[in-house]
Amino acid sequence: MRLFHTVYCASPLHPRPRRLRGLCAAAVAVCLIGAHPAFAAEPDLARAETLLREGRYQEAYDLLAPYEEARRGDTAYNALLGRAALKTNRADKARTLFERSLAAAPDSVDAHLGLGRAYLALGNYARAKIEFETVLRFDDLPPDLHRQAEIYAEAAQGYAEGKRLLANGYAIAGLGNYRVNATAGTDAFGGSDTEYNFFSVRGGGGLHRAHADGYALTGSLDYRFRHYDDPDRRNDSDLRWNGAVSRTLGAGNLAGGLRGRVSYRGNGSYRNDYGIHGNYRYRLDPDNQFRLGAEYRRRAYPDGPLRARSRDIAELTGSWTHSLPEGKAGVTLDAFGGREFALYDRPDGDNNFFGLSATLNFTLAEKLGGFVFGRWQNDRYNIERLNVGPADEILGITTRNDDLYEAGGGLTWQFAPGWTLNPEILYSRDRSNILAVNYSSTEIWMTLRKDF
């Protein structure tokens, strides 16, 4: 090219007519284009996608990387280069690329999921979970923060590979001990500490079907069964279901749907719960997520002595999740309140309730995590009733007021891929101004869980 320019374009022995000068300029431009990728044709995104699906990650990265500066505002380009960076152990680079992609297109599901995977690769599990939950919804995940992020990441990887039906499942088996503690109620009515050993099984899973424009359909089933070693105590059986439609809206996710449960209450009786619910999640920044929810449900006892307990329940909830420094732990604070509307002649009438809860999830080591939580709820009923003692003496006439407390925690040890061993403890206490309603229990159990 230099010889062409010297002889035909710059030599004083050869005049340069206008047409020749144009040819010279075109030749120079061709050489510049070939020498500088920034001036070349558009990056071959289809080719890069093919390389990624074939597992040729370094080739995909080398194909796309020269265009980085020129394509900083291109959502699809940044998402593809981010995927290639993740697969070639450039997690910090991937985070930057996915952040650029989100800045250009806040509704991008690819970018949200990619950024969550980048946070996970960097060891920031709490941030990863917040990012994943902006677009994905799975119920009944294990309590370990690291495992939650990993399960979301597996689904995110499937989405990046073109899958639009994402799924998770689990099976759990365990042994434990249930102890009824002494309270004013048990002492007054001749009760005492009582213990039951039990074994339990549980299984379920969920589906997430992604559609265009950020819409998704989600559904889940969860079945729980507990068998006690005392033939005089009923076994517990519980089936829960949920179905919803959701949509990603920038840094938020809006969902609404139906859910319910069927619970065995002994002596051939069941309790049926069903209702409508909605909630909105908002990612304020990488370390903070807020959630608002509302639900209206019916708790029905179709027949038997418990039928009077049937009621409608309206409830509002709000919560804040915060990633602690380095993302190895996260804390969630919840506030809730609502009203129960008695359907029949419940002795205590309607009930206004409100409460608070807090949960801390933490990581102790790569395969070892844990959690602790506490919950308080106050119930205030509106009909006066007799407060009766153990000898049927009347202790007074009052409206019932209960304080319910729960506290617990546990550890999760992932000893093999998808397998965890989980020791847990739960303490419950119902403190009431109605003597007979006072109750307390302590549960300790060990479960084996398989996620797939």
Q: Is the pLDDT of residue 21 over 90?
A: no
* pLDDT for the residue numbered 79: 92
pLDDT value, residue 107: 87
Average the pLDDT over 147-156 and give the result: 94
User: What confidence score (pLDDT) does residue 119 get?
Assistant: 97
Question: Is residue 294 situated within a structural domain?
Answer: yes
Q: How far is CA 13 from CA 6, 7, 10, 24, 355, in A?
A: 11, 9, 9, 16, 94
Q: Is residue 103 part of a domain?
A: no
Residue 284: the pLDDT is: 95
Asked, for residue 135, whether it belongs to a domain, the answer is: no
Residues 434 and 431: their CA atoms lie apart, in Å, by 9
In a domain, 398, yes or no: yes
Q: Say if CB 378 and CB 360 are below 8 A apart.
A: no
pLDDT in tens, 224-260: 999 999 988 889 999 999 999 999 999 999 999 999 9
State the pLDDT at residue 26: 43
| Angle at alpha carbon of residue 304, lines to 298 and 305, rounded to 5° | 95
Within-domain flag for 81: no
What's residue 191's pLDDT? 62
Nearest in space to 63 (alpha carbons), one of 71, 259, 400: 71
Name all contacts of 270-273 with Cβ < 8 Å and 24+ positions apart: 270/301, 270/302, 271/299, 271/300, 271/301, 271/306, 272/298, 272/299, 272/300, 272/301, 272/302, 273/297, 273/298, 273/299, 273/300
What local confidence, expressed as pLDDT, does residue 41 receive?
Answer: 63
Domain region containing 21: 2-35
List Cα–Cα distances, 339 to 168, 184, 296, 334, 400, in angstroms. 34, 27, 10, 17, 15
Residue 23: predicted pLDDT: 42
Instruction: Give percent above pLDDT 70 in the chain.
Output: 89
pLDDT beyond 50 at 28: no
Burial class from Cβ neighbours inside 10 Å (0-12, 13-18, 19+) for residue 406 reads middle
- The pLDDT value recorded for residue 190 is 63
Percent of the chain with pLDDT over 90: 73
- Reported as a pLDDT band with limits 50, 70 and 90, residue 35 is very low
Average pLDDT, the chain: 89
Is residue 14 pLDDT above 70, yes or no? no
**pLDDT computed for residue 419 by the predictor:** 96
* Contact assessment for residue 361 and residue 369, using Cβ atoms and an 8 Å cutoff: yes
pLDDT score, position 120: 96
Closest CA to 226 of 263, 277, 270, 190: 263
- Does 196 fall in a domain? yes
Of the candidates 371, 426, 382, the one whose C-alpha atom is nearest the C-alpha of residue 404 is 426
Model pLDDT, residue 31: 43
Say what the pLDDT of residue 292 is: 98
Comparing 69-83, 312-326, 418-432, the range with the smallest average pLDDT is 69-83
Please count the structural domains in the chain: 2
d(CA 88, CA 358): 39
Question: For the residues 257-282, what does the mean pLDDT come to?
Answer: 94
Contact 111, 101 (CB under 8 A): yes
Confidence of residue 437 (pLDDT cuts 50, 70, 90): confident
Binned at pLDDT 50, 70 and 90, residue 98 comes out as: very high
**pLDDT of res. 188:** 65
Which pLDDT band, with edges at 50, 70 and 90, does 189 fall under? low
pLDDT at 109 over 60: yes
- Residue 426: pLDDT over 80: yes
**pLDDT of amino acid 33:** 42
In a domain, 44, yes or no: no
What is the tens place of the pLDDT at every residue in 286-309? 999 999 999 999 999 998 888 999
**Which of 32-36, 173-177, 390-394 has the least mean pLDDT?**
32-36
CATH value at residue 340: 2.40.160.60
In a domain, 140, yes or no: no
